[in-house]
C-alpha cells in the first residue's frame, strides 16, 4: 500500500488516504473550513411504507435482506448498552449467516462484550471497524490483524462525519429499550433501559435504511420518541437486547483511593481559587471514580458558598442526580446515563434533559454546547510538556480506549486533567505523547498529586491562583519529578504499519496509531 504520509499542523506524520478514501491532515484548531453541503439522504414516499404504520418484520436477518444488504456496505450501531450489548453480536451472526462480506462496522463504540466479533474480522465478514475500541478489539487491531485501518472519532466527530457524508451509512441498526411498530423509540423503559439513544441520532437521520430492534414493543405511540419513527424503515422484536447489570451499573462509586481523592480535592480547590465556582456556573465531569469525587467536592463547596450551577453536562449518575434533586444544579444536560438513578431521573424529571452529539458536540454545526461549559474535568493516558494529551493508547502503544466526548469537551472554557503523575511505574507526563488526541492549546490545567501545572497560555488562571496556597508548578517540573521517581521512559520509535487514524473534531487526521511491536 503506497499510502502517502504527510506531516500535519501538529507535527505528526499522518496518512492521506484511509481505506481508499482521501483524508485531510489536521490543520490546527478552527483552521480547516468545510466546504460544500451536508449529506443528503434519498427522498422517501409514504406510499412505500405500510398504511397502518406497522413496520415490523420477523427478525434481524429478514430486516437486513429487506434493507438490501450487500457486500461492502456500512452498518452502524450505537453503544448505549455498553458492555451489556447483545445486539451487535446477534446482528453480525445474521450478517455472517447471509454470507455477506467486507462490511464496514461503524459503531459509536465497541466494548469487551464484542470480542465475539473477532471471528468475523478473521473470516472477512467485517472488513474493518470505525469507532472506539475498548479492550479485546483494540488489542486485535493493535496487533495488525484487521484488514482495513480503524478510524477513531469523538462523539461529535462521528456526528460530523455522518452529517458531512464522510461516512455514508447503508444500514443503521438501532437497539431500543422501548419502541413502537412505527419505529418511535427511547432508552427509558424496559429490561434494557439505558437512558437515552443520542449516539444513534445521526444514524437515524442520515442512514439509507434504518432498523429499530427492541425487546419492549409497545403500541403506538412510544412516548417520548428519542428516535423518530419517521426515519425508520423496519422494526424487529427480539427477546433480549442486553444484560441490564452491564448496561447501567447500579453501583457507581466514588474512589476510595487516597491518591485519587487528593487529585479530586486539588481540582475542586483549584476551581474555587480560580473563581470558576460562582453562582450560575456550569461543569462537566465523567463517571470515573476521580471525576465523581470532584463532583462531591464541588457539592460541599457550593453549599458552603451558597451557590448553584446553571447546568451540569453528564454522563449522569446518582451523585449528579442528587445535586439536581437538591437544587444545586438547575439542569442536567445528559449525553449518556451511567446508572439506574440516572435513567430514573431522566424518565421523571424534565430538568434532566437528553442531549445528543448534535446538540453538544458537532463541530460542523452553528455552534454546540461544549464551549458553553465553564469547566470540564477529563482524563488522559499521557500528557506532554506542551499540554498535548493522549486518551486512546497506552505508553506501550496499545490502542485500548475510545475518544468518547473527550476531544469535544476540550472546547470548554477551562479544561482540567486530574492525573496521577505516575501509573504502573510509568510517568504520565512525558516529552511527547504516544498518540496525539488533543492539542495542548485547548488543555488548561494538569492536576497531579505532586503539583498543578497551568498552561502558560492561560495567564488569567495563573494570575487568579497566584496568591492561593495551591502547589502550582511548571509542567516541566512535574515531568522531571515523575522521571526522578521512575526514570526517564525509553521512547520506542515505531515505524510499523498504520493500524488506526485518529480524527480531530473537524474530520481531519490529527494522528495515526501503528502496529505494536510484539
Identified binder of a second copy from the candidate list 1, 2, 20, 51, rule CB under 8 A: 51
Our CB check for a second copy shows the closer of 207 and 264 to be 207
Q: Are 347 and 368 in contact (CB under 8 A)?
A: no
Identified binder of a second copy from the candidate list 4, 20, 22, 43, rule CB under 8 A: 43
Identified binder of a second copy from the candidate list 8, 14, 15, 49, rule CB under 8 A: 49
C-alpha cell at 287: 463517571
| CA atoms 267, 273, 276, 280: torsion sign | positive
Q: Which of residues 236-255 bind a second copy (CB under 8 A)?
A: none
CA distances to 60, 342, 486 from 339, in Å: 28, 5, 37
Identified binder of a second copy from the candidate list 107, 411, 499, 503, rule CB under 8 A: 411
45 binds a second copy (CB under 8 A): yes
Q: Whose CA is closest to 80, among 198, 1, 165?
A: 198
Q: How far is the CB of 210 from a second copy (least distance, A)?
A: 8
For every residue of 76-111, DSSP letters joined together read EE--TTGGGB-HHHHHHHHHHHTT---EEEEESEE-
Q: Compute how many other C-beta atoms are within 10 angstroms of the C-beta atom of residue 37.
A: 8
Size of the site for a second copy (CB under 8 A): 63
24 binds a second copy (CB under 8 A): no
Rg of the Cα atoms in the chain: 23
Name residue, grid cell 461549559.
373
C-alpha 191 chain-centroid distance: 24
Provide CB contacts within 8 A for 237, sequence distance 6+.
Answer: 56, 213, 214, 215, 217
Our CB check for a second copy shows the closer of 155 and 394 to be 155
22 binds a second copy (CB under 8 A): no
106 binds a second copy (CB under 8 A): no
| Bridge pairing between strands 309-316 and 281-285 | parallel
Coil vs helix vs strand at 353: strand
Angle at the Cα of 432 from the Cα atoms of 426 and 434, rounded to 5 degrees:
70
Our CB check for a second copy shows the closer of 307 and 486 to be 307
Q: How far is the CB of 24 from a second copy (least distance, A)?
A: 13
Identified binder of a second copy from the candidate list 46, 251, 469, 493, rule CB under 8 A: 46
Q: Which of residues 52-91 bind a second copy (CB under 8 A)?
A: 52-53, 55
327 binds a second copy (CB under 8 A): no
Region from 190-198, 220-228, 245-253, 300-308 binding a second copy, contact rule CB under 8 A: 220-228
d(CA 247, CA 250): 9
Identified binder of a second copy from the candidate list 252, 362, 435, 455, rule CB under 8 A: 362
d(CA 139, CA 499): 11
Our CB check for a second copy shows the closer of 296 and 374 to be 374
233 binds a second copy (CB under 8 A): yes
Q: How far is the CB of 224 from a second copy (least distance, A)?
A: 7
Q: Are 284 and 373 in contact (CB under 8 A)?
A: yes
Identified binder of a second copy from the candidate list 135, 168, 220, 255, rule CB under 8 A: 220
Q: How far is the CB of 200 from a second copy (least distance, A)?
A: 15
C-alpha cell at 266: 486539588
Q: How far is the CB of 27 from a second copy (least distance, A)?
A: 11
Q: How far is the CB of 181 from a second copy (least distance, A)?
A: 10
Identified binder of a second copy from the candidate list 39, 246, 328, 481, rule CB under 8 A: 39
Our CB check for a second copy shows the closer of 225 and 319 to be 225
Binding mask 124-163 for a second copy (x = CB under 8 A): ---------------------------------------x
369 binds a second copy (CB under 8 A): yes
- DSSP structural state of residue 439: -
298 binds a second copy (CB under 8 A): no
Q: How far is the CB of 506 from a second copy (least distance, A)?
A: 7
Identified binder of a second copy from the candidate list 66, 310, 423, 432, rule CB under 8 A: 310
228 binds a second copy (CB under 8 A): yes
C-alpha cell at 335: 449525553
Q: Are 309 and 295 in contact (CB under 8 A)?
A: no
Long-range (24+ apart) CB contacts under 8 A made by 93-99 are 94/59, 94/60, 94/61, 94/64, 95/64, 95/69, 95/120, 95/125, 96/120, 96/123, 96/125, 97/61, 98/61, 98/64, 98/65, 98/69
The footprint of a second copy (CB under 8 A) covers 30-31, 33-53, 55, 163-164, 182-183, 210, 219-221, 223-225, 228-233, 280, 310-311, 331, 333, 350-351, 353, 358-359, 362-369, 371-372, 411, 506
Amino acid at each position: 500500500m503506497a499510502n502517502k504520509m504527510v506531516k500535519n499542523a501538529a507535527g505528526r506524520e499522518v496518512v492521506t488516504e484511509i481505506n481508499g478514501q482521501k483524508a485531510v491532515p489536521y490543520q490546527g484548531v478552527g483552521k480547516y473550513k468545510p466546504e460544500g453541503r451536508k449529506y443528503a439522504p434519498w427522498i422517501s414516499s409514504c406510499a412505500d411504507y405500510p398504511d397502518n404504520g406497522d413496520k415490523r418484520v420477523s427478525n434481524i436477518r429478514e430486516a437486513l435482506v429487506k434493507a438490501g444488504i450487500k457486500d461492502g456496505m456500512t452498518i452502524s450501531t450505537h453503544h448505549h448498552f455498553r458492555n451489556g450489548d447483545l445486539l451487535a453480536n446477534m446482528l453480525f451472526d445474521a450478517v455472517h449467516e447471509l454470507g455477506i462480506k467486507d462490511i464496514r462496522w461503524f459503531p459509536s463504540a465497541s466494548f469487551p462484550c464484542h470480542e465475539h466479533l473477532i471471528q468475523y474480522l478473521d473470516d472477512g465478514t467485517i472488513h474493518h471497524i470505525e469507532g472506539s475500541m475498548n479492550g479485546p478489539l483494540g488489542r486485535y487491531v493493535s496487533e495488525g490483524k484487521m484488514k482495513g485501518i480503524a478510524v477513531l472519532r469523538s462523539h461529535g466527530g462521528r456526528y460530523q462525519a455522518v452529517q458531512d457524508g464522510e461516512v455514508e451509512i447503508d444500514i443503521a441498526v438501532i437497539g431500543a429499550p422501548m419502541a413502537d411498530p412505527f419505529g418511535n423509540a427511547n432508552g427509558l423503559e424496559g429490561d434494557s433501559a439505558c437512558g437515552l439513544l443520542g449516539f444513534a441520532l445521526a444514524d437515524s437521520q442520515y442512514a439509507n435504511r434504518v432498523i429499530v430492534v427492541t425487546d419492549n414493543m409497545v403500541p403506538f405511540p412510544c412516548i417520548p420518541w428519542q428516535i423518530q419513527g419517521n426515519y425508520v424503515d423496519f422494526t424487529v422484536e427480539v427477546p433480549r437486547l442486553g444484560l441490564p447489570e452491564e448496561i447501567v451499573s447500579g453501583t457507581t462509586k466514588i474512589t476510595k483511593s487516597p491518591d485519587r481523592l487528593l487529585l479530586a480535592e486539588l481540582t475542586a480547590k483549584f476551581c474555587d481559587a480560580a473563581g470558576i465556582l460562582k453562582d450560575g456556573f456550569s461543569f462537566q465531569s465523567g463517571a470515573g471514580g476521580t471525576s465523581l469525587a470532584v463532583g462531591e467536592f464541588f457539592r460541599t463547596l457550593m453549599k458552603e458558598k451558597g451557590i448553584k450551577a446553571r447546568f451540569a453536562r453528564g454522563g449522569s449518575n446518582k451523585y449528579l442526580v442528587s445535586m439536581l434533586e437538591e437544587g444545586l444544579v438547575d439542569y442536567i444536560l445528559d449525553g449518556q446515563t451511567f446508572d439506574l438513578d440516572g435513567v430514573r431521573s431522566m424518565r421523571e424529571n424534565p430538568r434532566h434533559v437528553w442531549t445528543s452529539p448534535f446538540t453538544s458536540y458537532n463541530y460542523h454545526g452553528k455552534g454546540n454546547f461544549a464551549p458553553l461549559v465553564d469547566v470540564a474535568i477529563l482524563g488522559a493516558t499521557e500528557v506532554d510538556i506542551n499540554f498535548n494529551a493522549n486518551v486512546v493508547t497506552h505508553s506501550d502503544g496499545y490502542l485500548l480506549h475510545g475518544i468518547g466526548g473527550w476531544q469535544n469537551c476540550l472546547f470548554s472554557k477551562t479544561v482540567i486533567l486530574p492525573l496521577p503523575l505516575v501509573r504502573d511505574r510509568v510517568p504520565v507526563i512525558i516529552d511527547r505523547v504516544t498518540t496525539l488526541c488533543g492539542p495542548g492549546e485547548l488543555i488548561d490545567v494538569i492536576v497531579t498529586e505532586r503539583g498543578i501545572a497551568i498552561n502558560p497560555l492561560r495567564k488569567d488562571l495563573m494570575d487568579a491562583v497566584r496568591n492561593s496556597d495551591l502547589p502550582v508548578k511548571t509542567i516541566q517540573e512535574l515531568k522531571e519529578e515523575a522521571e526522578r521517581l521512575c526514570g526517564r521512559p525509553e521512547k520506542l520509535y515505531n515505524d510499523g504499519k498504520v493500524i488506526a487514524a485518529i480524527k480531530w473534531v473537524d474530520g481531519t487526521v490529527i494522528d495515526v496509531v501503528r502496529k505494536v511491536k510484539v
